[in-house]
Amino acid sequence: MPRRVPQELLDAIVAQVEAAPGGIATEQLDALNPRVPRRTLQRHLSRLVAEGKLRAEGRASARRYLAAPATAISGARPASEGTTQAAEWRSPAGAEVEAFVNQPLASRLPAGYRRELLEEYRPNEGGYLTTAVCLHLHELGRSPDGERPAGTYARQILDRLLIDLSWASSRLEGNTYTRLDTHNLIEFGQAAEGKDQREALMILNHKAAIEMLVADVETTGFNRYTILNLHAILSDNLMSDPGAGGRLRAIPVSISGTVYQPTAIPQLIGECFDTLLGKAAAIIDPFEQAFFVMVHLPYLQPFEDVNKRVSRLAANIPFIRCNLAPLSFVDVPLKSYVDAVLGVYELTRVDLLRDLFVWAYERSCQRYTILRDALPAPDPVRLRNRDALAELVRETVQLGEPIDPARIRKRGREVVQEEDLEAVVAMAVNELHLLHEGNLARFGLRLAELRRWDANRDK
């Protein structure tokens, strides 16, 4: 059981920071707390920043800690975990939207797709999130480890992210798997008894989609290739028309529980889809980019189904690319999420969804900052040879070769520096011994390739 951090120590760190009006560096705090190991102190500081009790400026050796403002920048604080009264995160404008969408359907006027909501949006000119909110979320979500290759943060916490995001996003679709059920399915391939097989498939599709985003971080983005393939993976074997996966819809759709009717004109869907992707790609701030996609993908409904799932995973693309904490949706109540999306559908108002987005991201940061800081530092040899390691594993499997260090070493000389070669060979051998259907995507392998290799490697 992990040791509980004495509250007196955390309070003392906050007091030390508050006593330094211009901010204080980690080295100074280290000197003030000689009995606290440096790594432990950094973990406490990250926690205090994530909880909004301190704020941080600068990176690496230039990072300084300052007293937190008297009120949270977001203007809406989450309720304590485990409570049912979560109204604190709603702004007055968000509460107005919530009150409207909770009226009976008969009291709400029918609404159709309004293209001007998309057309009038100007990337990097204003936006849905204020500068203060974006800065606040950057402070919470960014890695304290300095510049790393894109996707490093997500890879550090990948095992937890696969379970959290797969479970939480599926739950927002009405999936009844518990988090433990999801863990057993993803880690051990054990489907929960008495559950619909489609629920297990929904979760496994999420897992595959997340692995794609993390493994292909250099090529993923807000383009047709990424979003269409993301939809194809998430919808695999879940749509009445198998050919609809990864294709823009050409038929009308209706959404239960709302007076909103999406456009049914295929040409308009295609034009708006391309406009949406172009504007999303042009947005500089990753938080504005993520929120823009969460607004516009469900509103357009470019696919016959699975639109909201695509938007939730697509929202994580900028976080993965920029090494920011991911958005897992773990604590998001289903009704609050539905109400927030209905506010966009029926009123073209983003207030409630924005409140929920900020609150949910704050919660995710609390979860993943503590998790990441508890992990050992990344192996520098593995980090600089990540692509080469994946290539050696992939080629061994695709060529149907046994796990032979001599063969791996021979190929490794072409892609690995001599001083790292033996370490990388050892890593490749270890990864090959541990290879299974749950982790093959990170090496760019298909299940059929793994099964063919498995069947032949011991012959």
pLDDT beyond 90 at 35: no
Structure tokens at 93: 């404008």
- Residue pair 151/321 in contact (Cβ under 8 Å)? The answer is yes
Banded model confidence at residue 439, pLDDT cuts 50, 70, 90: confident
CATH value of 7-67 in 1.10.10.10, 3.40.1160.10, 3.30.930.10, 2.60.40.10: 1.10.10.10
Q: What is the DSSP letter of 105?
A: G
Packed helices 286-300 and 334-347: angle between N→C axes, nearest 10 degrees: 70
Identical topology for domains 7-67 and 90-373: no
Is the CATH number of domain 90-373 1.10.3290.10? yes
pLDDT beyond 70 at 10: yes
Structure tokens at 300: 């357009």
Q: Please identify which residue in the block is written with the tokens 């100074």.
A: 28
Q: Please identify which residue in the block is written with the tokens 């204003």.
A: 126
Q: What's the mean pLDDT in 220-240? A: 95
Which residues, in sequence order, are CB contacts of 292 under 8 Å at separation 6+? 121, 127, 128, 279, 280, 283
pLDDT on residue 377: 52
Q: 106-147 pLDDT, tens per residue? A: 999 999 999 999 999 999 998 999 999 999 999 888 876 546
Q: What ranges do the domains of the chain cover?
A: 7-67, 90-373, 380-456
* Residues forming a β-bridge with 56: 65
Q: 191-220 pLDDT, tens per residue? A: 999 999 999 999 999 999 999 999 888 889
pLDDT beyond 90 at 231: yes
- Residue pair 353/344 in contact (Cβ under 8 Å)? The answer is yes
H or E element, residue 55: strand 54-57
Banded model confidence at residue 182, pLDDT cuts 50, 70, 90: very high
Say how many CA atoms lie within 13 Å of 255 toward its Cβ: 27
pLDDT on residue 85: 40
Least confident of 15-19, 72-76, 96-100: 72-76
Q: 362-399 pLDDT, tens per residue? A: 989 887 765 555 445 557 788 788 889 999 999 999 99
Banded model confidence at residue 16, pLDDT cuts 50, 70, 90: confident
Residue type, 316: N
pLDDT beyond 90 at 21: no
Least confident of 53-67, 90-104, 277-291, 390-404: 53-67
H or E element, residue 57: strand 54-57
Backbone angles phi, psi at 104, to 5 degrees: -60, 150
User: Where does 315-362 show beta strands of DSSP type E?
Assistant: none
Q: What is the 3-state secondary structure (H, E, C) of 394-444?
A: HHHHHCCCCCCHHHHHHHHCCCCCHHHHHHHHHHHHHHHHHCCCCCHHHHC
pLDDT on residue 52: 75
pLDDT on residue 43: 79
pLDDT on residue 384: 85
Strands 24-25 and 260-261 turn out to be unpaired
- Residue pair 192/200 in contact (Cβ under 8 Å)? The answer is yes
Q: What is the DSSP letter of 56?
A: E
Q: What's the mean pLDDT in 340-359? A: 97
pLDDT on residue 369: 65
Q: What's the mean pLDDT in 330-355? A: 96
pLDDT on residue 81: 36
Max CA separation in the chain (angstroms): 74
pLDDT on residue 375: 47
Structure tokens at 215: 């493994």
pLDDT beyond 70 at 70: no
pLDDT on residue 207: 95
Share of the chain above pLDDT 70, in %: 88
CB atoms within 10 A of CB 53: 16
The mean of the pLDDT values for the chain is 86
